[in-house]
Structure 1
Amino acid sequence: MNPTPTVVLVPGLRDHVPDHWQTVLAARIAGAVTVPSPTDAGLSRDARVMALNDTLSRIQGPVVLVAHSAGVLTTVHWAARHRRPVHGALLATPPDFDTPLPDGHPGPQTLRENGWLPVRRNPLPFPSVVAASTNDPLARLDRVAELARAWGSRLVNIGPVGHLNPASGYGEWPQALELLQTFGCRTTPDTEVSV
């Protein structure tokens, strides 16, 4: 019997809050690990890639990555440099950094200076699912579909969920559990959710 993969959550650029779906998911999956946000690193992409690599280096056995927002791009940049085996990845609502973001988000120059641009479009060396919103203020659906094609990911349209964060009205995201089960992840009996 194959061991159950360790779920590794890769956050975006913003600090997490208790009702974010990644925080809720981490509490529901035994042994889940969240990549810590680098301290004093600002928006550095390299610091986030290093934090992900450091986290993965301490885990034995198969892993499934669960990334949200800029955490998706952290994962894609990490995969281009490192060859640690990954069982699969759930990549939720990646932002379109190639298009100027709404007010309150980093501009193109800041993103470029911090290593986020250009956005990598190399095929990922592991199976992946991109969960795309139809009304994400940080990326149009067609742009996310382009990224999914470039990465070799299966695209799943999850409907009008904004950026899939508390600001969009989403704390718990039950569909994440269903999507993770396709990678062999198991939830504890009291957390089974029907979707």
Structure 2
Amino acid sequence: MSPGNVLILPGWQSSDAGHWQTLWEAKHGYRRVEQHDWMQPLRGDWCARLDEVVVDTHGPVVLVAHSLGCILAAWWAAHSQHTGKVRGALLVAPGDVERAELALLLPGWAPIASQVLPFPAVLVASRNDPYCRFGRAAQLAQAWGARMVDCGECGHINAESGLGEWPEGQALLHTLMKD
């Protein structure tokens, strides 16, 4: 699989320079799905942009989502006609936009799509994620038909978690990239 077929789906405010998603882009040539507005995200706009990138990409794709990007992937999968192009999805630290405090910050993102994804998925969750309780992440994994991986106590599995290039995540991604 070409590195350009691995699509990075950052969450709200995108992924900063020290985030594993950004490090993977720089090292492996994966492609970030750029959104029009990272600060005030609109679910419809983000879904349309993801659909456009998937359609315009030659061959199959693998999604690598973090936080709000996971919620985007699930919503997109429930509504797109192009899910057949997705070989798999790595869903890391989904943000629970149905929680009151996140719903206020990210209006229009609830409810979370809760159907089984039409492609293989691995959901990685942290036991001390401030944006999604571990039990809630397990519920999402079950609803989406995703294999759940316990990352231990890694916060929001972002730059502040100190994971660097996060080789464990890269290994999970490679399982989804295999033919």
* TM-score computed with the length of structure 1 as normaliser: 0.83
Q: How do 1:87-106 residues align onto structure 2 when only pairs under 5 Å count?
A: 87-101=87-101
Deviating above 6 A after TM superposition, structure 1's stretches of 4 or more consecutive aligned residues are: none
Q: Shift of the alpha carbon at 1:99? A: 1.9
Is 2:78 the counterpart of 1:80? Answer: yes
Partner of 1:192: none
Structure 1: any 5+ residue segments left out of the alignment?
A: 102-106, 187-195
Partner of 2:168: 175
Aligned mate of 1:157, from 150, 165, 179: 150
In 1, Cα distance between equivalents of 2:99 and 2:24: 30
In 1, Cα distance between equivalents of 2:68 and 2:119: 19
In 1, Cα distance between equivalents of 2:135 and 2:47: 26
Partner of 2:26: 27
Aligned residues: 176
Report the structure, 1 or 2, having the larger helix content.
Answer: 2
Aligned mate of 1:122, from 93, 111, 115: 115
In 2, Cα distance between equivalents of 1:133 and 1:39: 27
Q: Shift of the alpha carbon at 1:54? A: 1.5
CA-based RMSD of the aligned residues comes to 2.0
SS at match of 1:183: helix
In 2, Cα distance between equivalents of 1:185 and 1:38: 31
Identity among equivalent pairs (%): 39
In 2, Cα distance between equivalents of 1:80 and 1:179: 24
Code of the residue aligned with 1:93 in structure 2: it is A
The change in CA–CA distance for 1:168 and 1:177 in structure 2 (over 3 A counts) is closer
Partner of 1:70: 68
In 2, Cα distance between equivalents of 1:59 and 1:43: 23
Code of the residue aligned with 1:56 in structure 2: it is V
* TM-score computed with the length of structure 2 as normaliser: 0.90
Q: Shift of the alpha carbon at 1:142? A: 0.5
Preserved CA contact (<8 Å) 1:130 1:155: yes
SS at match of 1:87: strand
Partner of 2:55: 57
Partner of 2:36: 38
More displaced 10-residue stretch of structure 1: 41-50 or 160-169:
41-50
Partner of 1:48: 46
Aligned mate of 1:142, from 128, 135, 139: 135
SS at match of 2:177: coil
Code of the residue aligned with 1:51 in structure 2: it is R
In 2, Cα distance between equivalents of 1:73 and 1:47: 14
Code of the residue aligned with 1:129 in structure 2: it is V
Partner of 1:108: 103
In 1, Cα distance between equivalents of 2:16 and 2:38: 19
Code of the residue aligned with 1:92 in structure 2: it is V
The change in CA–CA distance for 1:64 and 1:35 in structure 2 (over 3 A counts) is same
The change in CA–CA distance for 1:4 and 1:185 in structure 2 (over 3 A counts) is farther
In 2, Cα distance between equivalents of 1:69 and 1:133: 12
